[in-house]
Structure 1
Amino acid sequence: MSMEHTCSVVSFGGGVNSTAMLVGLEERGEPPDHILFADTGGEKPETYDHLERMQSWLRSKGFPKITTVREGNGLEDDCIARDTLPGKAFGFGSCSERFKIRPQRRWAKQLGHENVVWLVGIHFGERKRAERTLNQRNDVSFPLIDWRWDQEDCVEAIRCGGIPVPVKSACFFCPAMKKREVIQLSKDNPSLFARAVEMEDAALESGKITTVKGLGRSWSWRSLVAADASQLKLFDDTQSPICDTCIDW
């Protein structure tokens, strides 16, 4: 009796680690059977651009194309429909479980893949994070840890592969974003920031949210950026042009 083939599936998040993992697999001549991207519907525009760029790169290497899967209408629409915030705002990991892991598992089940090993991009410096996953699941592999690649190794591998280093993969309204990242988003992409604040406002105004102050959990994105703008008004000369005699040539 022949043993059932183990199907290898890359869980591609669109960031540095999963991109480096694909580069490493290509270097070793170990193409996976499938590559999946779980689209939350709220990824950064740069991530979607990177996804298309990687499709071309994979095609040039004879690797499988990236298959996109999704849970319902996406996390943003789900939060708006229920007047709530992403689970991470409340300290839960339900965002990843429902909108990342679940649609990938469903895809594998629908295709009849019962014996699957999921290749996940967690690098050597995040070994403890990987250990927590292995304590709960035995169908996951971490190639970057096997190769002892840390974050710097991942970045170098991507550059050597001729691929632009991608931005951090996360929803543009992720509650895990730092304050400086939220302020930067409001400046770089005000339309996305507005959508995030619309979600925050709707959840808070519904009266259903009583345990957190906003997307920042203990602070709201709207208040943060408003306070930042108020601070800038105290310094009228901050937008003055730089005197070219001060430029360090």
Structure 2
Amino acid sequence: MTERHVLGLSGGKDSAALAIFMRQHFPERDIHYFFTDTGKELPEVYEFLGRLEGFLGRPIEYLNPNRGFDFWLRQYNNFLPSPNTRWCTRQLKLEPFKRWVRPWLNDGDTVISYVAIRADEDHREGMVAQHENMHVRLPFREHGIDKSGVVEILEASGLGLPAYYSWRSRSGCTFCFFQQKIEWVRLKQVHPDAFEAAKAYEKTALEHGSPFTWSQRESLEELERPERMAQIQADYELRKQREMARRRPNPLRQQLEGAVDIDDLFLEDEGGGACLVCHK
């Protein structure tokens, strides 16, 4: 029997920082780094994972679902996934991981999964292990590392943040329903082809009676109207100004804490939340 160590990467800042942290502080552990690839990821995610792989000095294993998003969309009668029916996470993220570790568990090996839940995320819990030989560890919580600590780890490593953080709050599929409306606007601006693909999925779903649109209470066709996009951008800038005025500057950590990012400004009815498997 063998002890296996695994660490899932989402293409986001937290899991990348955790991989760096484990590599630097526990180099003796033979950690298997993996990324569950839905095939609908941002190009910036693949670019960042490539640079992270170079830093770690070992390969990141890409796990692929047996069937892609299009197959499962048909299986679910063209009903789009939503915060309440996250079939995409289950079929494209969780199931491939379970298939990957199943041979180890069947052989009696112990699998230790490291999850990037930070010390300042008391409201979050890691994946519940569904096998007696599977154990979940939360190193950031154990070592008191918060969001600022994550940024420090990435900056000190030379990797910095993934490029999409300049316009988006998290990794995940290009059409993730957890996006805020401002992120849909920016997706159209930065990756117009991905926006058009999302719009096509939505149109097909609505034609088949799906009760969901990607963005709550309006379709992407409605959202992309110039006057609506202008309103969304203006509302976002107003929220950003209010948040900046509310904050108390910390001269010792001004670079890390003075900036306002999209994640700080999400509205409950505009997205927010997010699946740990996809976004950490």
Q: TM-score, normalised by structure 1?
A: 0.79
Partner of 1:148: 144
Unaligned runs of 5+ in 1: 233-249
Per-residue deviation, 1:39: 0.6
Partner Cα separation in structure 1 for residue 197 and residue 74 of structure 2: 10
Partner of 1:118: 113
Q: Which has the larger radius of gyration?
A: 1
Task: Give secondary structure in 1 for the equivalent of 2:122.
Answer: helix
Partner of 2:17: 20
AA aligned to 2:9 is F
Task: Give secondary structure in 1 for the equivalent of 2:224.
Answer: helix
Partner Cα separation in structure 2 for residue 9 and residue 155 of structure 1: 22
Partner Cα separation in structure 1 for residue 24 and residue 108 of structure 2: 26
In the alignment of these two chains, the number of paired residues is 220
Partner of 1:130: 125
Partner of 2:56: 58
AA aligned to 1:36 is F
Per-residue deviation, 1:68: 0.4
Tell me: CA distance 1:230–1:40, structure 2 relative to 1, closer, same or farther (3 Å): closer
Give CA deviations for 1:8-60 in whole Å, capped at 9, x if unaligned: 1011111101100011112213344311111111111100111111121122x
AA aligned to 1:184 is R
Contact 2:151–2:160 (CA<8 Å) still a contact in 1? no
Partner of 1:41: 39
Partner of 2:215: 216
Partner Cα separation in structure 1 for residue 62 and residue 117 of structure 2: 20
Partner Cα separation in structure 2 for residue 40 and residue 98 of structure 1: 9
Per-residue deviation, 1:162: 1.1
Contact 1:7–1:117 (CA<8 Å) still a contact in 2? yes
Partner of 1:203: 205
Give CA deviations for 1:106-157 in whole Å, capped at 9, x if unaligned: 01124557421111111112232126x4597862111111111111110110
Aligned Cα root-mean-square deviation (Å) = 2.5
Q: Percent of aligned pairs with the same residue?
A: 25
AA aligned to 2:148 is E
Contact 2:6–2:33 (CA<8 Å) still a contact in 1? yes
Partner Cα separation in structure 2 for residue 135 and residue 103 of structure 1: 15
Partner Cα separation in structure 2 for residue 129 and residue 120 of structure 1: 11
Partner of 1:93: 86
Per-residue deviation, 1:180: 0.4
Contact 1:130–1:142 (CA<8 Å) still a contact in 2? no
